[in-house]
Structure 1
Amino acid sequence: MRTIFKRLLALAAVGALTSATAEARYFRTVVIDAGHGGYDKGAQFGQVYEKHLCLDTATRLQNYLQSMGFKTVMTRNSDYFVSLAERVAITQRYKDAIFVAVHYNFTYRDSACGLETYYANGAESQNLAQMVQQNICRKVRATDRGAKFARYYVIRNNTCPAILVECGFVSNPTERQGMKAAWYRDSLAKAIADGVMRFRRDG
């Protein structure tokens, strides 16, 4: 009897885990967080500001996701400052959401290059990060810096699947030239959207 009882408990636990995983993948809303904004310019080289790159890419991402049938919420849709706490608070208003932050990178070594995607909480966020990372690197044929764990505020404090995508280095001359072109930002946006759809479908 004890053995049967233990097996039932084990099956129930597996069922609960499967249900929780399926529920985590069921989402209709994508909160798109264009990094920086307003007085917070982010990375900068000459007249190339990260805040502008982020907003343009995020707006393109919004258009692609909407065409795929997702509801989208932008944490900012113009050039103004939004605190990190408010970006998280916006996401928490939606119970059926995932969170995608769009950023561009910078380092004082201009040879550093490539794309990377960060996650902080749980297997769902890691899966989402890996799928988006694979897509963006394939789409623009950039150096794959991987899907990585990090504790950035906006992904650490979100309870839904949450990622932060670094779309190339403003400090790298070749990548900077690319990101100044609309086709590059559009390709990244499409690749992120495809990664989100893949996560929704295959998780």
Structure 2
Amino acid sequence: MRGLRRLLFPLLALVFAGSAAEARNFRTVVIDPGHGGHDKGGQWGLVYEKHLALDIATRLESEVKKRGFRTVMTRRSDYFISLPERVRIASRYSDAIFVSVHTNYTWRQDASGLETFFHSGQSRPLASYVHSGMMSKVRAVNRGVKSARFYVIRNTTCPSILVECGFVSNPSERERMKSAWFRQALAEGIAEGILRFRRAG
């Protein structure tokens, strides 16, 4: 039995290493602006998460294209798309990663900062690179890289992350989100993280 284990462990290590290498051999970035249509997401007054997410995602698409990747957007305007449909879109591409863009909300108005979520082990490096990219572009509380079971990152098979680009419920962060330079900086940071993840493969 011990001999069998000694044979199996190196084989399993090779399988997982191969999977990780394949995961980084991607050409397509599926960008998922959170919410949309009747689903406004987090909101404060007339500031809606669905609008902020779409703007950041659109800027991200431009930045990712500049870096030589093909892009797919789950939505391009203000309409509702279900969570299963977002996953189905991502599953159409065998050479893809998936990035879902959101802003945060809580009843505590003092909560602020950026955080990035992953579900599977293959997605953790992507989350780390993207989170570092965002933090390098803007001054914000670093809420870290965390594991979560959000539907869109739990049900996709490719490396998948969900980024929270600040709290719409925080007055000062909300004001920054309303500024184009802040949304652009976040998009550039995410794109840089994606490129670093690709190069690390």
TM over 0.5: yes
**Superposition RMSD on alpha carbons, in Å?**
1.7
- The superposition leaves residues 39-88 of structure 1 with CA deviations (integer Å, 9 ceiling, x where unpaired) of 11111111111100000000000000011110100000011000000000
Percent of aligned pairs with the same amino acid: 60
Residues 150 and 8 of structure 1, relative CA distance in 2, 3 Å threshold: closer
SS in 1 for 2:59: helix
- Normalized against structure 1, the TM-score is what? 0.93
Q: For residues 1-203 of structure 1, what are the structure 2 equivalents within 5 Å?
A: 11-122=10-121, 124-203=122-201
Instruction: Give the paired residue count.
Output: 201
Letter in 2 for 1:80: Y
- Normalized against structure 2, the TM-score is what? 0.94
Q: Structure 2: any 5+ residue segments left out of the alignment?
A: none
Q: What is the deviation of 1:100?
A: 0.1
- The superposition leaves residues 137-169 of structure 1 with CA deviations (integer Å, 9 ceiling, x where unpaired) of 221011000000110000011111100000000
Distance 2:35 2:4 in 1: 54
Q: What is the deviation of 1:10?
A: 5.1
- The superposition leaves residues 68-111 of structure 1 with CA deviations (integer Å, 9 ceiling, x where unpaired) of 11010000001100000000000000001110000000011100
Distance 2:25 2:161 in 1: 16
Distance 2:128 2:164 in 1: 13
SS in 2 for 1:110: coil
> Which stretch of the first structure deviates more once superposed, 135-144 or 9-18?
9-18
SS in 1 for 2:156: coil
Q: Structure 1: any 5+ residue segments left out of the alignment?
A: none
